[in-house]
Structure 1
Amino acid sequence: MNDLRSAIEHLKNFKGQYIETDRPVDPIAELAGVYRYIGAGGTVMRPTRIGPAMTFNKVKGYPNSRVLVGMMASRERVSLLLGAPTRELGMQMGKAVKTIIPPVTIDEKDAPCQEEVHRADDPNFDLRKLLPAPTNTEEDARPYFCMGLVLGSDPDEESNTDVTIHRLCVQSRDELSIFFAPGRHIDAYRQKAEAAGKPLPISIDMGLDPAIHIGACFEAPTTPFGFDELCVAGGLRGKPVELVDCVTVKQKAIARAEIVIEGEVLPNVRVAEDQNTHTGYAMPEFPGYTGPANPSLPVIKVTAVTMRHNAILQTLVGPGEEHVNLAGIPTEASIYNAVELALPGLLQNVYSHSSGGGKFLAILQIEKRVAGDDGTARQAALIALAVYREVKNIILVDEDVDLFDSDDVLWAMQTRYQGDTGTIVVPGITGHVLDPSQIPEYSPAIHAKGSTCKTIFDCTVPFALKEHFKRAQFRELDPRPFAPELFDEQ
């Protein structure tokens, strides 16, 4: 696989992983409303479920467009796309960070993303009519590009490049607003350019090899300032990501993207996110709530859109399982690498739980070997909080607990946890501005929006009592001869 189309063809070999429909769909609220029932999952309001990725081949108002949703909305599907066992995705990603392969630039004649070029200086150009950006709900500020990978460079050191996914709201025929969560590297580049009174040239790359999207979701300190996350995708695939010079701005684009929006982040220009609708809301975010519209966001002036013939616009349902995997698997990798480096052999696995959108809740599976590991297990939790600042709660479990089975984790909490001795609270720590509880109005202990109390729940057995907490041991055997129809489906 080296692009979205080859990834789709790969998925077609596996039952239940990919479907298409020719029934016309409205991109405004209807598309996301349909997929909510088919495969959104995550923190989406019930009823929802984990299901196949889905391409809508006919989009109302856009006769030449297709929209794909849910490409990575299943951990099993991510496993198939990345070629790593489902339960080892975090560890495999951790290895990729250590075996990076930098991207390479190719000639424009070899770049599929520039098969069609639509320049914004054409009086007929209108982003709103060209691309079917969807809304998730009726309340959304405007249509959004939810899977746009923004590529930007340090104005003072162009070799320092960053790629990240940001909230991009369509504001007019040639303008987008962009929301930067605190600490994002491209925002630091924007601030540098703005201080010099200059625009920041960027490309917004959509419809990509899944390895690129997953790799782009690593954050500091795993990928420090100036680290190009496209190197991670190269490490995952064993070959470099191909780039091409943009047509209208001094920046690179991902050569095999389905769609590329070229443009500049304007200096000292701000708009209200909902300036066109005044709904007061932005869009549904990963915690499961619709975020408030930001009153003052930077503006991207679009200079061109380039695309492949018959391009596929890729999107996601904001709070769905796709965000869990995009954010959560790199989180698992970062935590695993950091803890293994500091405390070799202690941590068996990490799971960034779906209920936290892949960010807020981490389950750490620990194997205690000596009495001192009672304290070392908690040290591992502190390392996890340090290496990934958006984690809010950590649950520690023993090696005999299935960290991917929520019922088993809750069983450990009910039988191996005492609230007065097993709870460690760390108040007043930086969290995430999109957690609606992280505001001063919620708790007098919270001094500013995005500050939070972080909690460690130690649900592990004290080393000296391990024999007392031994689980019932059942006979190990092969059940398939007794019910082959059940196992043939897997």
Structure 2
Amino acid sequence: MTISPKPVTDLRSALDLLSQYENEVITTDEPVDPIAELSGIYRYVGAHGTCKRPTKLGPAMIFNNIKGYTDMRVLIGLLSSRKRVSRMLGTTPEKLAFALRDSVAHPIPPVVIAPQNAKCQEVVHLASDPDFDILKLLPAPTNTPEDAGPYFTLGMCYGADPDTGEHDVTIHRLCVQSKDEITMYFVPGRHLDVFRQKYESRNQPMPISISIGVDPAIEIAACFEPPTTPLGFDELSIAGALRGQAVELSQCVSVNARAIANAEVVIEGELLPNVRIREDQNTNTGKAMPEFPGYTGEAKAELPVIKVKAITHRQHPILQTCIGPSDEHTNMAGIPTEASILSMVERALPGFVQNVHCPSPGTGKYLAVIQVKKSTMNDEGRQRQAALLAFSAFSELKHVILVDEDIEIFDMNDVMWAMTTRYQGDVSTIFIPGVRCHPLDPSSDPAFSPSIRAHGIACKTIFDCTVPFAMKGSFHRSEFLEVDVDRFIPGFSDSKGG
């Protein structure tokens, strides 16, 4: 099948591109309830990742008929397939990390356009309207029946440092609490939280925009973290580099903030200083929502509050959402992690690391498979140095598996084969105990192991599944005759890529 490439500039053009491929996006007109049912359906269709089985890798899905809403569609699973992400970014699944690494090195800053050209403001709803209600306007999904409430899971939260004016964009857990209030969960260290704390120390509200339904390049770029993107680095410039043109922003209509101009939906508001709300105050479930490790997070007792001032959107908008434990999260978190590790190790060990993969079972954050090539005896031991560099590049990384250049790192069966035949637990495992990792890993807790001093601390581990250089001659894989399979099965080579 010959595909004519189309430039992707927003969500709709990304969907147009994917429509040229078979079974990448499917739609349904069957009425669906956004409360638990929508996610319950997609769990079977294409969530994959760390979702409870049965689940599978499948197409993105658009629900055209949302119960209680006359002019609103919901898209889920757009980024759940690595191949789908690569198609939308104009590369291959194996080269995604390289494309992102290069984009970080050549950023294109965003630009602000005139308000009349902002598609995201085709329709405006102000909170001053007595009938204003977030959930009457937007079908925020509830992933499971025990969630704390309806959540926006793919909002590009964009704010500025009050001292420098530097901007940052990140994705956060956003729970609707009332007709004009949303709680916002910050994992410690997030840059937007640094900005928020500066405002709060002055008892001032922080203006913020939440753009939903944007160019997938923005969603991927927003998930970069330090040290690749230090405080003050605007990740929208990475998305600009991926597209070869600046991301366009628009001034918000109700607060002094900027939003992504061609977003499907924008929520405008202010993070209130010194105001906190219990996340599950409306349900008392004690639970928040399913998170990327595959477990439901606990509801937080005190979270900062966004006072919503306006909601703007395009005509016939598409609200985009995701399931926390799905491969959509794996790809958003994992591909930038791969790029960050590649960048770090290439500077220290040029040409040694061949590729990096943060696979689905590792949630995109906790596990990295690093492929190395030992060319001389002097390369022995450098594989472990590469793992140490990976841990320093990405603090939330928990495990690193090291493999040789003949292992297909995007095939976990091949990686496990390397662990079976090229690994001995007593000499091939390196433990680094007592290191800060990620608070959503339930095993990183003193109750799990007395070696853990506080919640969120873990034992980082290197699994060296590489062959000692002196023994490489004894570990050659069986070689088969190279043949032209198309001669026997016409079109076989074209079908391999799917």
Deviations 1:39-80 (A, max 9, x none): 101101111111111100000011111000011100000010
Deviations 1:463-486 (A, max 9, x none): 000001111111122212222365
User: Offset at 1:487?
Assistant: 4.7
- Give the structure 1 partner of residue 24 of structure 2: 17
The alignment covers a number of residue pairs equal to: 489
Mapping of residues 180-329 of structure 1, within 5 Å: 180-329=186-335
SS of alignment partner, residue 139 of structure 2: coil
Match of 1:454 among 450, 455, 460: 460
| C-alpha distance in 1 between matches for 2:329 and 2:252 | 28
User: Offset at 1:488?
Assistant: 5.0
Match of 1:78 among 81, 85, 96: 85
Q: What is the identity, as a one-letter code, of the residue corresponding to 1:228?
A: D
Mapping of residues 399-478 of structure 1, within 5 Å: 399-478=405-484
SS of alignment partner, residue 122 of structure 1: coil
Mapping of residues 76-115 of structure 1, within 5 Å: 76-115=83-122
Deviations 1:83-135 (A, max 9, x none): 01111101111001011100000000000000000000111000011100001
Are 2:146 and 1:146 equivalent residues in the alignment? no
User: Offset at 1:370?
Assistant: 1.4
- Give the structure 2 partner of residue 118 of structure 1: 125
Are 2:173 and 1:167 equivalent residues in the alignment? yes
Q: What is the identity, as a one-letter code, of the residue corresponding to 1:114?
A: Q
SS of alignment partner, residue 74 of structure 2: strand
| C-alpha distance in 1 between matches for 2:284 and 2:481 | 63
| C-alpha distance in 2 between matches for 1:258 and 1:90 | 27
Mapping of residues 337-416 of structure 1, within 5 Å: 337-416=343-422
- Give the structure 1 partner of residue 3 of structure 2: none
| C-alpha distance in 1 between matches for 2:98 and 2:284 | 44
Alignment check: 8 A CA contact 2:122 2:312 kept: yes
Q: What is the identity, as a one-letter code, of the residue corresponding to 1:269?
A: V
Deviations 1:251-282 (A, max 9, x none): 10100000000000000000110000000000
| C-alpha distance in 1 between matches for 2:362 and 2:287 | 21
| C-alpha distance in 2 between matches for 1:48 and 1:63 | 30
Question: CA 1:274/1:193 → structure 2, altered by over 3 Å: closer, same or farther?
Answer: same
SS of alignment partner, residue 370 of structure 2: strand
SS of alignment partner, residue 326 of structure 1: helix
SS of alignment partner, residue 299 of structure 1: strand
Deviations 1:367-411 (A, max 9, x none): 001112221110000000000011100000000011111111111
Match of 2:63 among 31, 52, 56: 56
| C-alpha distance in 2 between matches for 1:304 and 1:164 | 20
User: Offset at 1:453?
Assistant: 0.5
- Give the structure 1 partner of residue 185 of structure 2: 179
Mapping of residues 28-67 of structure 1, within 5 Å: 28-67=35-74
Q: What is the identity, as a one-letter code, of the residue corresponding to 2:398?
A: K
Instruction: Give the gaps of 5 or more residues in structure 1.
Output: none
| C-alpha distance in 2 between matches for 1:364 and 1:82 | 23
| C-alpha distance in 1 between matches for 2:23 and 2:325 | 22
User: Offset at 1:4?
Assistant: 0.4
SS of alignment partner, residue 447 of structure 2: coil
| C-alpha distance in 2 between matches for 1:112 and 1:118 | 14
| C-alpha distance in 1 between matches for 2:154 and 2:139 | 13
Q: What is the identity, as a one-letter code, of the residue corresponding to 1:121?
A: S
Q: What is the identity, as a one-letter code, of the residue corresponding to 1:101?
A: I
| C-alpha distance in 2 between matches for 1:95 and 1:385 | 21
| C-alpha distance in 1 between matches for 2:426 and 2:175 | 46
Among the aligned pairs, what percent are the same residue?
Answer: 58
Q: What is the identity, as a one-letter code, of the residue corresponding to 1:174?
A: D
Q: What is the identity, as a one-letter code, of the residue corresponding to 2:179?
A: R
User: Offset at 1:356?
Assistant: 1.4
What is the CA RMSD across the aligned residues, in angstroms?
Answer: 0.8
| C-alpha distance in 2 between matches for 1:478 and 1:274 | 60
- Give the structure 2 partner of residue 3 of structure 1: 10
- Give the structure 2 partner of residue 335 of structure 1: 341
| C-alpha distance in 1 between matches for 2:382 and 2:494 | 42
Match of 2:143 among 136, 141, 144: 136
| C-alpha distance in 2 between matches for 1:173 and 1:311 | 20
Q: What is the identity, as a one-letter code, of the residue corresponding to 2:285?
A: T
Q: What is the identity, as a one-letter code, of the residue corresponding to 1:137?
A: T
Q: What is the identity, as a one-letter code, of the residue corresponding to 1:241?
A: V
TM-score by length of 1: 0.99
Deviations 1:288-345 (A, max 9, x none): 0001101110000000000001110000011000001000000000000110110001
| C-alpha distance in 1 between matches for 2:487 and 2:136 | 57
| C-alpha distance in 2 between matches for 1:171 and 1:30 | 20
Deviations 1:129-178 (A, max 9, x none): 110000110010000000001001001111x1000000000000000000
Alignment check: 8 A CA contact 2:485 2:492 kept: no
TM-score by length of 2: 0.97
| C-alpha distance in 2 between matches for 1:100 and 1:467 | 44
| 475-484 or 293-302: bigger deviation | 475-484
